[in-house]
């Protein structure tokens, strides 16, 4: 729900500046309500969104994964996540990613929040979930190497937040939502 009555800028022209298999970069010529004109670039995602799941191994323990992050050229701790495949709902994608990345499915999912990263430049949306009542089930995923699954006590969330290898904003956001909403 927006509490602003501002008029959106008028798009005068839109062109494609570059494309990859994941993204399309668009150049927008915009005219604002005060008459100012500016050129903006934005990345349009080529998918239907993404999901991130905070799995609860039990009431006191969450599961993390350690995986390679090409953007920082490092191994990072985070939560299972991935793109929503065509024809999938966010909930179906969340359960699939959980099975692919940690070897569990879940009987209960709680949607926490929809988030976006860098909305001035990027249009992709991610749905954050909490998963409970896990059961063992694995699916083959698209990871280039096996992911390390780590059990983490929820009462040590502050230690996790202070780790140098737990820095991905969506994972931090999801953990904070879990801490706020877990009952």
Q: Name the phi and psi angles at 5, rounded to 5.
A: -105, 15
pLDDT tens column, 115-174? 987 777 777 789 999 999 999 999 998 888 999 999 999 999 999 999 999 999 999 999
Higher pLDDT, 182 or 176: 176
Nearest Cα residue to 43 out of 120, 121, 125, 126? 121
Q: Are 26 and 41 in contact (CB under 8 A)?
A: yes
Q: How many CA atoms lie within 13 A of 10 on its CB side?
A: 8
Q: Residue 180 forms beta bridges with which residues?
A: none
Residue 37 has pLDDT above 70, yes or no: yes
Pairing state between β 148-153 and 61-69: antiparallel
User: What confidence tens digit (pLDDT) does each residue in 43-63 have?
Assistant: 876 668 899 999 999 999 999
Name the band, by pLDDT with cuts 50, 70 and 90, for residue 66: very high
Q: Percent of the chain, pLDDT > 70?
A: 95
Residue ranges covered by each domain of the chain: 10-45, 50-181
Looking at domain 50-181, its CATH architecture is Alpha-Beta Complex (3.90)
Pair 110, 130: CB distance under 8 Å:
yes
């Amino acid at each position: 729900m927006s509490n602003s009555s501002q008029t959106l800028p008028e798009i005068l022209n839109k062109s494609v500046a570059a494309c990859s298999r994941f993204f399309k970069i668009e150049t927008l010529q915009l005219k604002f309500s005060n008459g100012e004109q500016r050129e903006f670039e934005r990345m349009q995602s080529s998918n239907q969104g993404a999901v991130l799941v905070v799995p609860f191994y039990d009431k006191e323990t969450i599961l993390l994964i350690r995986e390679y992050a090409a953007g920082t050229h490092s191994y990072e701790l985070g939560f299972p996540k991935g793109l929503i495949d065509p024809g999938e709902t966010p909930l179906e994608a969340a359960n699939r990613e959980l099975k692919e990345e940690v070897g569990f499915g879940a009987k209960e999912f709680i949607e926490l929040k929809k988030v976006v990263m860098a909305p001035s430049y990027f249009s992709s949306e991610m749905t954050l979930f909490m998963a409970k009542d896990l059961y063992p089930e694995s699916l083959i995923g698209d990871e280039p190497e096996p992911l390390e699954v780590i059990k983490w006590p929820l009462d040590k969330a502050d230690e996790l937040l202070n780790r140098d290898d737990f820095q991905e904003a969506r994972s931090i956001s999801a953990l904070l939502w879990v801490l706020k909403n877990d009952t």
